[in-house]
Amino acid sequence: MKKHTLDKDYIGTFLIRNAVSMMLLVFVVAMIFTKRSFFTADNIVNIINECSVYGVTACAMTVAIICAEFDLSASSVFAWSTVLFVICCNAFGIVAAFFITLASGAVMGAFNGILVAKVRIPAFVATLGTMTAIKGLAYVVTDAQPINTSNETLYAIGQFNILGITIAPIVFALVILIFIWFLKYTRFGRNIYATGGNYEVARLSGINVEFSKFIIFVLLGVCAAISGMLYCSRIMAGWAPYGGDLSLYCVAATVIGGTSLLGGSGGVHRTIIGVLLMAVLFNALTLLGVDGSMQKFIRGLVLITVIMFDAMANLRKRV
């Protein structure tokens, strides 16, 4: 009898803990039977291509959230990167543009890192400021105009695909593997969990918590720059308003995936589920003929539902 109760508890906890994965599964199965066009190679490839550009930054945001931080300026670094990348592509060619944009992302991330880790400004305030400043810089540099490029190599990269899979999912897969290895198999990765779990305990244990916090912002800057360049490869243009929803998208994908906003737990593998769920949901709603306004409503409901599941799981843990 006791064993039966334990099994019930185990199943209940399992169901709640994996609610998002199961929601994704239920969505996919329901869509396969509802919409013939959903389970076609073209559509699946489209979903994967679509979610990969933002997915790269979502991975870095997950690491930041594990470290109990987040970065509002990721969207501005993304926009700035599209602008800088296009300007540099036109001026110096794609190779120089790649390294300059990557370095610029790292510098902007490092600046955020210094503000948060060294100057001890709360991440919300610090990144709110840099978000506005970087966006403003992008407007100033371009005189607020969208700019495009006809760089042939970039165009070729944008068009490159293997069975429809473009460069963005390949980069996304690489970033996922690197982050999983980084978090799971390096001491530094484990330090990030410790720092996010309990800052003071981690500090007293001898972990260089300031460096941990600093480096996650550098990673975020670099990943936002990579996302910006991938975006450019798809649309061949740069503009200050691009990627305005990136920061919130990344936080949402991370939370939906099951990484707690309180820090200290979660993982990039979970965020992949979050990114996929958002992309599948968006795609499914479009295929089902749901109007734009209703789509926003449903996406909001899904986010709230997932957070409720998370709250339930936490309650179970405490009981």
**Range 180-209, binding other proteins (CB under 8 A):** none
- By beta-carbon proximity to other proteins, the closer residue of 113 and 243 is 243
Residue 71 contacts residue 214 (beta carbons within 8 Å): no
Distance, CA of 36 to chain centre: 30
Which of these segments, 39-47, 186-194, 202-210, 250-258, binds other proteins (CB under 8 A)? 39-47
Neighbours of 173 (CB within 10 A): 15
> Contact between 152 and other proteins (CB under 8 A)?
no
User: Please, which residue, 12 or 122, has the CB nearer to other proteins?
Assistant: 12
Which member of 24, 50, 72, 222 binds other proteins (CB under 8 A)? Answer: 50
Q: With CB under 8 A as the contact rule, which of the stretches 64-72, 106-114, 240-248, 270-278 interacts with other proteins?
A: 240-248
CA distances from 236 to 148, 201, 229 (A): 6, 48, 9
Q: Which is nearer to other proteins, 211 or 282 (CB)?
A: 282
Q: Say how many C-beta atoms besides its own lie within 10 A of residue 14's C-beta.
A: 11
Stretch that binds other proteins, among 68-76, 97-105, 117-125, 306-314 (CB under 8 A): 306-314
β-strand partners of 165 = 162
* One character per residue 98-137, x = contact with other proteins (rule: CB under 8 A): ----------------------------------------
Q: How far is the CB of 66 from other proteins (least distance, A)?
A: 25
Residue 235 in contact with other proteins, rule: CB under 8 A: yes
14 closest CA partner among 312, 318, 319: 312
CB of 95 to other proteins, least distance (A): 22
Measured from the CB atom, the residue of 26 and 178 that comes closer to other proteins is 26
> Where do the DSSP E strands lie in 108-250?
147-148, 161-162, 165-166, 237-238
- Give the number of other CB atoms < 10 A from CB of residue 35: 16
**What is the Cβ-side half-sphere exposure of residue 192, based on CA atoms within 13 angstroms?**
29
15 binds other proteins (CB under 8 A): no
Residue labelled with tokens 């592509």: 89
User: Which of these ranges, 63-71, 95-103, 236-244, 254-262, lies near other proteins under the rule CB under 8 A?
Assistant: 236-244
Nearer to other proteins, 262 or 294 (CB): 294
Q: Where are the beta strands (DSSP E) in the chain?
A: 147-148, 161-162, 165-166, 237-238
**CA 177 from centroid of its chain's CA atoms:** 14
287 binds other proteins (CB under 8 A): yes
90 in helix, strand or coil? Answer: helix
User: How far out from the chain centre does Cα 134 lie?
Assistant: 19
The residue ranges that bind other proteins (CB under 8 A) are 35, 37, 40, 42-43, 46, 49-50, 53, 139, 142, 144-148, 150, 158, 231, 234-245, 283-298, 301-302, 304-305, 308-309, 311-312, 315-316
